[in-house]
Structure 1
Amino acid sequence: MNAPADFAALLDARYRVGPVLARGGMSTVHRGMDTRLDRPVAIKIMDPRMAADPTFRARFEREARSAARIDHPNVVDVHDQGRVRDTLFLVMELVEGGTLREVLRHRGALGVPVAFAVMEPVLAGLAQAHALGMVHRDVKPENVLLGADGAVKVADFGLVTAAAEAGVSHAGMILGTMAYLSPEQVATGQADARSDVYAAGILFSELLTGAPPYTGDNALSVAYRHVNDDVPAPSRIAGDVPPKLDDLILRATSRDPARRPADAAAFRAELVRLRAELGVPRVAVPLPPARPVEEQETEPAPLPAAGPRGTRALTRGELPEEETARLSPVVDDRPDRTRGRHGTAAAARPEALPDHRIARRRSRRTFAIWIAVVLVLGLLVGGAAWWLGSGRWTAVPSVVGLDRAAAERLLADADLAATVTEELHDDVAADVVAGTDPVAQARLLRGAAVTLRVSTGRPVVPAIGPGTSVADAEQAVRAAHLTPATGGGEFSDTVPSGAVVRTDPAAGTALPVNGTVTLVVSKGQAPPPQVRIPFLIGESRDQAVRELRGLGLDVEVTEGLPFTRPNARVVGVSPGAGETVERGTTVTITVL
């Protein structure tokens, strides 16, 4: 296996790129050689489409620097990162061995002692990253490397984080692996240390049972189960799993992050205590299966001259003549044999068969024909029975809680047609399925229609223009599935008396179904402001006039004497003191 032509020269004038070790949705990993330090390395070369994204490049470089800070024997070391023209690469420690996925594929379920032997170092490596504030986001068997020396190392820290934060998504790439994604990653795309705990719990379950708890025909159905279903206890498949280990895994994979261990360190501490309590023996980590010869870098050695009992393989030239003759094809040179196309002899035509042998052959042919006819009829009858029985029926998938588009896709996958009715709902967000008719798991003929009851969310207060009649406003409120009520009126200079001025709460406010909307009705224009006549008896004429005019009242002075006194005093007021009058009213004062 030679390096690709693109990397015939040294990468960054330092790294010699060798054969491909692994391929993924975001990158390809090569065996390489650091020519400066003369050590083997693993070189991860990013997908060119991602390397061309400047936002991803910046996030990639930041995450690579963060990953390089993790110094732990159970984490793959990051040595270097860089970019040469359009090639973005990461140089890492080379782990001679294979992945946990290869072991699972080769052996299936590993049993309780081996599962403990793998998970303790995995959680130790994750715990170191969590202590530094890093989240892996893609814990899975492919990212757990098993060395030939028994080492267990977690790989690929930060790559999914860089892709997620940069908003990168390409065909063939999922930000994280659906079988191991936590519910919060599926629902919001957000992840913290407890998301890694969830994925580690799924991984633990797979080590015990041989398969992840959720599988499906498409990623959407797996994601739906992560969000809506509780992970089943491993003991339902693996009978040797103790109840206390079941409980720990179920808490680690709880849909509620608050119920999980806070981080990998807490998860590992519980695991260590449980090992001691259950007396789980310590065993060696399983070694990955040997790679095929064509994937190995060395050619197989020649066979030894002789085995332990003197047995060895012989070439044809070493065989005795009599053995060579015995193993050679026989060629008949007799003249009554005809030659085939390639020089082989064909036997002469036999004499005519006796009548009883001809009859026997004819009987056998007839029997074979009847057997074939019966088999064909059996297939036809079986196919028809399947179609008339279960073949033309299908089950309604569970789609409550999914958005409309996802629900319609699942129904189409189940060979069902979707019809949509919209309804208001207090507790279900808009455009999310609140129910189906018929309900989930009901059996229907393929092609039948299923009604999706899609929520439009809570009703909102309609916009009612000032001046709308009370009857029209009440009708609009009822049409919005709300309850109208008439409240206290208020004065308005622009809205005639008896018409609606505004609503309480205001238009656009979301309310529960049948919530109350108060219609505020106009009382017409507000009357002029009122003032109270002050007590003025004994005050001077000028002072009384100033005080009344200051209140917005007109003043008329009546002299009690036939002549005017300069220091006249008020002896009478009409209207009288304490009475309320409108501004602009004329008040008569009498002075002496």
Structure 2
Amino acid sequence: MRTGYTLNGRYRILRALGEGGMANVYLAHDLILDRDVSVKLLRLDLRDDPNTIRRFQREALAATELLHPNIVQVYDVGEENGMQYLVMEYVKGMDLKAYIKTHFPIAHADVIQIMEQILSAVQTAHAHGIIHRDLKPQNILIDDQQVAKITDFGIAVTLSEHSLTQTNTVLGSVHYLSPEQARGGMATKQSDIYSLGIILYEMLTGTVPFEGETAVSIALKHFQADIPSVRAVDSTIPQALENVIYQATAKRPEDRYADVAAMASDLQTTLSPDRAGEARFTPQSDDGGETKVLPVSALSSLTANNSASAADSAASAATAASDPPTSDVAGKVRYKKRHPLRYRLIWVAVTLFFLLVGILIGVALFRPQMTSVPNVIDRQTASAQTTLKAAHLKLGKIHQTTSAKIKRHHIVRTEPRSGTQLKQNTKVDLWVSTGPQKYKLANYQGDAYASTAAKLQALGFRVNRESVHSTSVPAGRIMQQSVSAGKRVVPKNVTLTFTVSTGSQTVTLSDLTAKTKAQAQDYAVSHNLNLAFSYAYSNDVAKGKVIRQSPGEGAVVQEGDEITLTLSRGPEEQASETDQFNVKVKIPFDSSVTSSSSSDDDDDDDDSDESSSSSVSSASENLIQIYLKDQDHQDSSIYKQLTITDDTTVTLPFTLTSGKPGAYKIVRNGSVIAEDKHVTKN
């Protein structure tokens, strides 16, 4: 993709960062959020390959489920002109492979600090049921602050998915491949732990433990050869730290750490003086397990060895056939020749008969009774238990897991998988669906709409926008949300609607001179303006009409600005003796306002704390209306209307005929909060 191209009208390509077997990665700039991002673009020659597209989409799905400071975050997923792309967090730095090469030897404390970040990220992935399957230094990025971030979930697989592992082929980098994967077995959490142990080995020694001329020769070493000692390379490495590598890379998965959290806990104390005299970790012997099919590329390198073994066996057989019989054997042959052929045949037949009967009886007595695990996916627990019992299997542990496809209280998967051959009365564990994973909504009022919408869309929400003008909320900020904060919802079932401020509009003032007070107030309301009035005697302008305005006709003002109008009192000779004075009144701001909200949650699991039909939210502004009664005003019409965002003091001008009192009333959001019906100069 050329430099300067704008993807989806938003991401401007700056330069290429790297090329891979599946996709190319570019540095781009997000024009909306004004930040640098990484764009992973599926190669053009692979865009029609369904397997590659499935891997690409798997990476997007896996990464968007994982929100962790040590996992590269996916911001956006899309397609343009047939091109699949991911928009990810841009990490300025290098991968761990280059970091090891540049900084080796690395201090043991720094090694542990980096590994703890990696372990924390993998623990989060495992907690979401995602196995990475390709953990290696090239897929771990280190930024300038020595923060590690895992990327490339292209061949990651969820624990409920097994289509890739059923092909008996090996995916992932062979230098970090677990023995069970090298045999073509199914990847588990312990497979990731094995890869983490190899990464720790490389960080301490600068090299991988096994090298070879072919990928198959390296894979064979993973399940045949012992991991070399890191203390043989660097004697300053504590035995406790070497033991972490030994336990993580044990040949048998059951000898490894039970989970990543256990490995992280062990790693934390490896430099402690309390573990200075620790003995070397020794796992149980590996029995090799069932040998499975290696990839086709591996078979070619094994053919020569198999041919040589076959040749040796054939040569031994030929040598044995050419040797003459001993004297004892010859004697027996000569003895047998004395018996008639008929007796010899009978003796052989009887011997073979009893031998065959003995073999059949032995097989019948000692062969374990086998059965096949039935398919109970999407059944309820009671039904699954009945089916297992009918298949002569026992119910094991029942686990709970979220699922977007399987209904609540129905079986998501079994362990072992359906179709697996087991001894009768073996226990089978069940994973029961708790329904789709829910997300707890935050209070987004005041947040930027663009970044909030992008984050929620990546989680699966449908997001709508309603734009309104506001004099108090900056443009682009969220004013209201359709679903209240704290609500736990299923993202794919919910449409969120945000009311977003477009800021205040400009108004070009009309000529208000000669207008009545009521006409001027109507104009101010329709254009969202505030009015202030002053009064003067005039022989030319009738009483109650506008003499002049400030700003004048044609001036451009913002919505919410105040316009001052001078109203006529009529001719001066008509005036009687009056008192003119001002009264200051403080108007308190009310930050709480009650609004009703309805639930958009389609899930049938209602919590008691979510059933309320109303909620109290924070008000951003108050509507204030002031009524004034004096010589120039009547309390039946609004003297002044304004919006406030904080406690505000207003000055009320009174013009009273001597000896007569005035009055005022202040209304906030429809409720009277201050009133004085007897206002005098003193």
Per the normalisation by structure 2, the TM-score is: 0.41
| Greater RCO (CA < 8 Å, at least 6 residues apart) | 1
Higher Cα radius of gyration = 1
Per the normalisation by structure 1, the TM-score is: 0.47
